[in-house]
Amino acid sequence: MSCDVTLTVPCMDCGLPAISVRCKTCCARLRSGRPWERLKHTVFAEESHCWICGTWVNQDLPQEHAKSRTVDHVQALRDGGPPLDRNNCRLAHRGCNTARTNQARGNRTHTTLSVDISTI
């Protein structure tokens, strides 16, 4: 008889178990507050094209629209990217940002250990 166990590492910010270098709670916390809002407004003011697909971003679209504006972290927060570094933040369409994130999550390798529990 065997069972699969997903190995975790401690979150670099809080120490709780995480599949990547930051846990979901810390990633969410880093995308809130005044410093994050200021950085978003800076990115929106300085950039006009999606860094992923290269086309213009209509910054007047409602937030739910796939072509609306978002700020994307070039190096993901879950992978240790600096959350408030202007050089790590770029303008992106919501749909492009979501697709890139989903692709990165699919490519992320999780270490799984199979253990024969009869040997324990």
pLDDT digits 0-9 by tens, 43-96: 999 999 999 999 999 999 999 999 999 999 999 888 889 999 999 999 999 999
pTM, rounded to two decimals = 0.73
Cα(59)–Cα(82) distance, integer angstroms: 25
Cα(106)–Cα(67) distance, integer angstroms: 22
The neighbouring-strand residues paired with 38 are none
Tell the residue number behind the tokens 């910054």, with chain if given.
Answer: 59
Cα(54)–Cα(117) distance, integer angstroms: 52
Helix, strand, coil percentages in the chain from 3-state DSSP, rounded to 5: 35, 20, 40
